[in-house]
Chains A and B, each alone.
Chain A
Amino acid sequence: MSSASPSASVPHDGTDAEARPLTLAEPTILGLPVSFWPRILAPIFVGILVLGLWEFAVRWNEVPSYVLPGPLLVGQTLIADWGTLSASLWITLRITFMALAAAVIVGVALAVLFTQSKWLEMALLPYAVILQVTPIVAIAPLIIIWAGDINLSLLICAWIVAFFPILSNTILGLNSADHNLINFFQLHGATRWQTLRYLKLPAALPYFLAGLKISGGLALIGAVVAEFVAGTGGSESGLAYRILEAGYQLKIPRVFAALLMISLSGIAIFLATSLISHLLLRRWHESALKREN
């Protein structure tokens, strides 16, 4: 019996400690709960089915590979061109993560600033919205001209796309701290900084993480779209340029291979942000709790 689990030694001392529910551990397979496995196996099954049908349809109809390559050919291309493609992937991912980091820093900083001063929020939030609703494809050429450096302009484009969900979610989170708790802090003479540190920032965490999940994917999309517009050549070229290049040369299997890498990167980013969110919230937040009904 470990002292870490108080449910193991419920005191019968007249308190209502007994009212705590008794819990049974769920059986696991390979370390994962039994009820979790269908969530992994079902999509894998569907994926294999669809890929099989695709391969079959391509072969049966003798579709040429420059129109639609089968999944096996795409896989072979991916392996054969791995050197070029992975270098490009790394360039795109570097832009993505730098943009995401900048979005987190600027988004959270602005959100904190806005909740400290209503005037600042009123004055600046409309411009943040304008930045968000302007199509990035339309302003990317301007940014490329103004920024001069191609990597910097790609970074700015990806950042513009990624930062708004973090900003708006964090503002919402900072403003959604329990009103009575705010009163309690006030009663105990808490300073602005203490209220922010001990109450508003923790209360905003789930909202911020929801924003981060969206922004992770958007940063990648922003980086790829900006690369498309920039169409940069040379050795320092991201995946979007590889797609454009392969498209011109009718190397359609390579287009698919690059697309596959972008998709997988997006999925990996989503899973990573979901994992961070789960680890940070599992002890206390409703979204991370299992419910029977």
Chain B
Amino acid sequence: MDTAYLSTHPAAGQESGVPLVSIRRVSKQFANGTIAVRDVDLDLGTGEFISLLGPSGCGKSTLLRMVAGLGSPSTGTIDWPGAGEDKAERDLGFVFQDPTLMPWANALSNVMLPLTLKHVPKSEAQERAAEMLALVGLKGFETSYPRELSGGMKMRVSIARALVMRPKILLMDEPFAALDEITRHRLNDDLLNLWWRERFTAVFVTHSVFESVYLSQRIVVMAARPGRVMADLDVSAPYPRDELFRTSAEYAHLCRLASGKLKEAIGA
């Protein structure tokens, strides 16, 4: 009835072109003996929108944090062939599951934080932060404090803060999991628009099949105990995707396929 399909992504290292991040045989064992991630091979291509999809405890957050440099792999390597050798030069933005804002600072100061830490002059930092706030739809809320903002708006501030340095890659750890569905849909749409416009590489950790299909070009399916990659799927649907796509038969079909792959992968 339609042409939507999922295809297997080429294995790591098999693709043409230099990936932004190259993950090779990465394992992570915690001090208590838990193996959070085992033997992960993954390339993150420049400009891609990739979802890491899997149940709780499959190590997707741990993997994301290791890419960010928060904790290093027990074995294996994470290289940035598409970026400079200097670790400090690896521009990345990180969005946590909670907005993680400074409650004592207003929205503008929160977004300015990465610029302040890099000693960007105050007037320039303010200008860039205000621009970023406007881009996430929060023009007029510069002087609002986090407690005066709704959950979705706080998440927008958090995204603006992550993007204010114009990073090459945006890492998101289940950012919308705590939001209601209506807000989540809006934020998904706005995130896609931002990505479409700014052309950063996006890595999105989620446990929602629907969210991953809606957003991504590529879904990496992971299984738990130990955390490992079970499937790496390309999503064929074109961008821009919008509300029409969300209600299309094509989307439903893709969700069914991805759901099937997930069940197969985690052996349910």
| Interface of A toward B, CB cutoff 8 Å | 3-4, 6, 9, 11, 13-17, 19-20, 178, 180-181, 183-190, 194, 198-199, 202-203, 205, 283-285, 289
Contact = CB atoms under 8 A, between A and B. Distances in A.
Nearest to A9: B140
B113 to A, nearest CB: 7
B103 A285 contact: yes
B153 A283 contact: no
Given A183-B70, A289-B147, A178 B153 contact: no
B68 A16 contact: no
A289 B103 CA distance: 13
B113 A188 contact: yes
A17 B141 contact: yes
A188 B115 CA distance: 9
Contacts of B68: 187
A17 B190 CA distance: 14
4 smallest beta-carbon distances between A and B, as pairs:
A15-B137, A19-B150, A16-B152, A180-B100
Contact of A20 (B94, B105, B150): B150
B194 interface: no
B116 interface: yes
Nearest to B147: A284
Contacts of A184: 94, 96, 100, 113
Residue of A6, A16, A188, A189 with most partner-chain B CB within 10 A: A16
Chain A binding site: helix, strand, loop or mixed by DSSP? helix
Interface of B: 68-70, 88, 92, 94, 96, 98, 100, 102-105, 113-114, 116-118, 137-141, 143-150, 152-153, 156, 165, 183, 186, 190
Contact of B69 (A9, A13, A187): A187
Contacts of A16: 150, 152-153, 183, 186
A202 B140 CA distance: 25
B204 to A, nearest CB: 17
B18 to A, nearest CB: 24
Residue of B105, B117, B138 with most partner-chain A CB within 10 A: B117
Contacts of A20: 148-150, 153
Nearest to A21: B150
Contact of B92 (A11, A15, A178, A187): A187
B153 A15 contact: yes
B113 A6 contact: no
Contact of A194 (B69, B103, B117): B117
Contacts of B138: 15, 17
B98 A180 contact: yes
B102 A181 contact: yes
Contacts of B183: 16, 19
B100 A178 contact: yes
A90 to B, nearest CB: 37
B153 A19 contact: yes
A137 B254 CA distance: 78
Nearest to B150: A19
Given A284-B146, A284-B147, A187 B94 contact: yes
A205 B149 contact: no
Nearest to B149: A20
A202 B149 contact: no
A64 to B, nearest CB: 58
A19 B102 CA distance: 21
B186 A14 contact: yes
Contact of A189 (B88, B102, B146, B147): B88
A6 B117 contact: no
Contact of A180 (B96, B140, B150, B186): B96
Contacts of A186: 70
A166 to B, nearest CB: 19
A188 B141 contact: no
Given A178-B100, A187-B69, A187-B94, A283 B186 contact: no
A15 B117 contact: no
B140 A6 contact: yes
Contacts of B114: 188
B70 A187 contact: yes
